[in-house]
Amino acid sequence: WCQSSKKDNKKATLCRLAYLNKPELPILMLGCIAAAIHGVMFPTIGFLMSIFVTAFFQPLDQLQKSANFWSLIYVVIGSVSFLVSPAQTCFPGVAGAQLVKRFQTMSFERIIHQEISWLDDSENS
């Protein structure tokens, strides 16, 4: 589906971008996984908070155990969120930087291999 005529130039450009970004696919997948985990965090916190409220209606001896357990759960959730929140922006940023570096290298190679008269043309300066 990536072969196109001049009509489908946009489609071909996106396919070429995807092909050029292929080496960074594992990094992009890590970013997607981190974004999915971060997206699940807030509904999970809401759900756990609704369960945590029931701990207040327990007898006093169970209240201390329950409060310790739920505070530990919230510390774990906060720690996971602390790790995946920057990861969801860092990994795609690294992949984008590598893609830009690849574009710069390709552009420089194309310019270097041109005829000298190509550089004198007003369209190319």
Separation CA 93–CA 99 (nearest Å): 10
Tens of each residue's pLDDT in the chain, 125 residues: 455 555 666 667 888 888 889 999 999 999 999 999 999 999 999 999 988 888 888 888 888 888 899 899 999 999 999 999 999 999 999 999 999 999 999 999 988 888 888 878 888 77
Torsion sign, CA atoms 39, 37, 45, 74: negative
The CB density around residue 17, as the number of other CB atoms within 10 Å, is 12
pTM for the model? 0.75
